[in-house]
Structure 1
Amino acid sequence: ADCERITPAMLTLMALEQETIDRIVATVPGGARNVQDIYPLAPLQEGILYHHLAAEQGDPYVLKILFDLKRRDRLTAFVDALQHVIDRHDILRTSVVWQGFDTPVQVVWRQAQLTVEEVVLADAAGDIATQLQDRFDPRHYRLDITRAPMLRLAFAQDVVNGRWVAVLLFHHMALDHTAMEVVQHEMQAHLLGEAVPLAAVPYRNYVAQARLGVSEQEHEGFFREMLGDVDEPTLPFGVREVQGDGGNIEQARRPLDGALSLRLRAQARQLGVSAASLVHLAWAQWLGRVSGKDDVVFGTVLMGRMQGGDGADRALGMFINTLPLRVEVGTQGVREGVKATHARLTGLLGHEHASLALAQRCSGVVAPMPLFSALLNYRHSAGLASSSQALAGWEGIETLSNEERTNYPLTLSVDDLGEGFHLSALAVPQIGAQRVCDSMHIALDNLVESLEQAPSTPLNRLSILSPAEHRQVVTGFNTTGRFYPQDQTVSGLFEVQAEVRPHAIAVVQDGQCLTYSELNARANGLARHLVGLGVQPGDSVALGLARSIELLVSQLAVLKCAAVYVPLDVSAPLERQQFMVEDSGAKVLLTLAGMDVPEGMLRVDLDTVELDESADNLDLTQSAEAVAYIMYTSGSTGTPKGV
């Protein structure tokens, strides 16, 4: 504590030059005498720092808790108790510095005073608690993490309701879910005038374990084996943005039914696996259904305390880590799926200190495409004992809200309460947090039922839909029957529309638009040109065009000739397009000048050919059952198949 200068030999967890150390020490008030330790960031801290720096405004990893304090003296007691916890734990006296350094470091201060700010708010401006939350909303408010502690308390008097309202902001870099429970437990002891019997566990112990334990080569070998052949991301509902600020995230919660909780635990015991393994499999199966995949990858939040050393269960700091887990949910039976998931999850725990960046590099998914966009956070949340003595410690202090945020578009947290379970979802609006909770409840119910009654049922046969949703998907969405004159052709119906609404807009592309009469006239001109080239009813005409107005004109023109159009995928290899042309017997190809298309037939470049456009329709009779077009699918053998 009386050190005048910190030297490289004093740092046991990282090697730094003297000049670098001096610059780091200069960031701490009081200099070397106030520096207790300097060491690198833990793996997940590095990821959080990245998102902190990447956020254009606000910070997705600043969390807040809102408190109701009945009297000013309870506010004073609250601050005193929190400062006592800060004094005990080094991670709460830690700052992070990175500017001008090769690698970010965290610096433990010997003394760090909690910033407490009183805010004067006007009752006339609305609810005081709402005003306070809005002012310190992490969507636009940031904590200065270069100063310790990475916490801040702001409070305001609420005269109308006869109380004080306080918001505690803390950075995820310093505290995770379990750590906040420890903070509350120690604050409770202080409020009751009791001493915490056990010494505080230094966070440096965990950093040492994470940095000096399993080698990077071992981590890489494990993740290459698991992810090496994964070349497509798992994106529920196609949502891929994982660099957001959490600003538009919805939240929803629901408990798991008591009976289902008991059945889930019973199945876990019978199979000799953890309840967490069943939940991970249900989540994988749910993701498989909403991403259209039988082989999924998602991020799972590991507590990091399994190998964190002695006392890690009561240590403060960022212990959790997010790592990818791959689960197959195709034709594999439910029981075998549970065992496979349990084995893979157990293996992953041996690498819980690996960095997410390393794991993602071991996959075949090329950056910046994310490997996954959904997380599962399975956490043990039995909670603190609510004895009358414990409640007495918090007398006059009530938690109003406890906000969670994330940069991922979808996170499901499953709280294991010892007997029951609670589901909490954070999701972007296009996914819907409540829908996630409800359908995950169904997925768990169907998984447990299959284990009980038909354990060999393929995983991809399990539903995540409620009966009402199933009826909507199978029946409601398929109620597409509409009356139309079935003795008419498509081109004939279009011609009627062009006559009835000639000046209505028919098609728009990149600012260019055509009315029905203009589109009909262009199609008539092209149809006459095709007839002049010898196109007969029933002949095939290939269309080498991207989605465009020209494509629509061409389709109508071919139909007006009573011919059959054959759309080609212009992004497909020429050999594949050539096969489609030859297989369909097309004699004419409609395209644009400069397009690279198959050869061996009459080519018409629509942007150079002169057409005689006319309002007069062709008078060609054809059956309403005649073929309109041939579409080529990929084919189960790899050879295109015309349908």
Structure 2
Amino acid sequence: MLTSAEQQQLLWEWNDTDADYDRDVCVHQLFEQAVARAPHRTAVVWGANVAVGSERWTYAELNERANKLAHHLRRLGVGPETPVGIYVERSLEMILAVLAVLKAGGAYVPLDPIHPPERLAFICQDAGIALLLTQTHLAGKLPLPERPVLHLDADWPRIAQESDQNPPNISRPEHLVYIVYTSGSTGQPKGVMLEHGNLRHAYYGWQQLYQLGRQPLRHLQMASFSFDVFSGDLTRALCSGDTLVLCPRETLLQPDKLAQLIVTENITAAEFVPAVLRLLVAHLEQNGGDLRQFHFLSVGSDAWHVRDHRCTQQLCGPHTIFANTYGVTEATIDSSYFRHSTDTLSDDQITPIGRPYPNVRLYVLDDALQPVPAGVAGELYIGGAGVGRGYTNRPDLTDTRFMPNPFLPGEQLYKTGDLARFLPANGHSANEPSTLAGHIAFLGRADFQVKIRGFRVELGEIEAALQQHEKVQTATVVDFQSETGDRRLVAYIVPASDMIPATDELFAFLQKRLPDYMLPGHYVTLSQLPLSPNGKVNRRQLPVPDLSSRPQVAQPYVAPRTLAEEVLAELFGKVLGLQQVGIHDNFFELGGHSLLATQLAIRARDTFQIDLPLRAFFETPSIAGLAVAVEEALIEKLETLSEEEAALLLSS
């Protein structure tokens, strides 16, 4: 039993976060205020080509365009509670479309073209979008019968005839601002509904933590358009009168190019996922770079170890606000932050997720929704102004995850499914001194949701997709940590007959249905899945996979034939953690993904001393194909060298 003093501390003292701000102003109105303050300041930059130059709009230009589109959207019937799909490539038009939908009074539904059309079509239907904003070259890729489509390029001459003045605001804090879809355990993604008041609250918290609006900053926007962090990037920058620089996807995956973009565009603010920041920090350490120009730098969306935290902090300047953040889509992006010293923590510990943002309350509760003592594990619940409305068309799930706050009538709680504990005032060891009292330590998941490269993944959605394959009777999916340190998804399948599907067959099947970060890298065939006494899959009894063995693919193993193929085979093996790789094996079917492809590209450049573009590893993801590109690049390089330089290169 907790004493009254302990209850007071857990429920109230460590949740004393109430703060006043203007709750009736929407984020698009804050943007309009920024326009009025500095109309000629650069608002958004598309950093598509550092060498040639970037496309950019001022605040006045962006606002006028957004106003024209907003007026046009209102003519088409867009208003409060109207979901509008935005299906565009990364571009200035992406930002324009979001602002226009908000100004029109609607709610935007982001649709990333890199995701499978089947998944996007489901999202459009489930969200009930009334209109689709897109670009001409994407037309036809996402069939939407009986829904109007507006092309931001081809239809712009007509849109441009509209007024460029701010439309009167018709949105209230309780109106929808966006619907973002996350992985769902039923086999389909689930839509999370957030309101204007939620996003306005989040901006206030960022404003306080990062001291926004005190000096002009340049924010690097890296998150996928379909990820809720995108909304945070946009809001932090454009509500503060700062500049938002859109990072091209291919630049994000190349730490040398990313470092160059940061310097060229004088980036001073950014939120990273751990996987990308680790690559950037390693590159900077190897090449004598740093992050001292940053005013604020945050890392979130996945667990972040103290070792990585320290390495990053050492590259920052003394003035840099460096924070480890925690949040969920259902509670508006960020709910807590950690800025405390890690001096007393060990390298292999997970960095604490810290304390709640302003107007956020965090509870660690038991199964009876009662607080557990500090130092004891429980489930993390989030309360306060960030908790969203619920899930689209899923009242059952909404009732399960969103509930009345038993400690504060009139407020909602969100059940995160994350395990956590408050660090105690006295500490259990030297690793948890009293200076961290009241901070929260993240311990993992209480269910079958995992984080893969910063993305939430419900394993049940992958299992449901696998079981749609005609050769699969049943399947279960788990995640393992490989020898290379990254998390790997492993699918255990029971075939429907004697015809066992090959890895590449299953890969191609799932690729049409799931985003790339949800594709298993390894498959294990079983005659049956182990069951517990209650009939559920006993995941602890599943055989541990040999992640170092070559997956079962249709093509036979073919050994390297040339020196270039031998070197590439060794590089493939090191990056993938495999003992053997055939020259015709597909890198991605062997468990590779975009971040591993980046590591492979860096190693190949260092080994062969040639500038091999990252896209080559996506266009020809086999050793045989890449060897041709390597040999051609080496020949081209030799032709530009003198005889002495060529002899020196060949001898090395």
- Tell me the TM-score normalized by structure 2: 0.24
Larger Rg: 1
Higher relative contact order (CA 8 A, sep 6+): 1
- Tell me the TM-score normalized by structure 1: 0.25
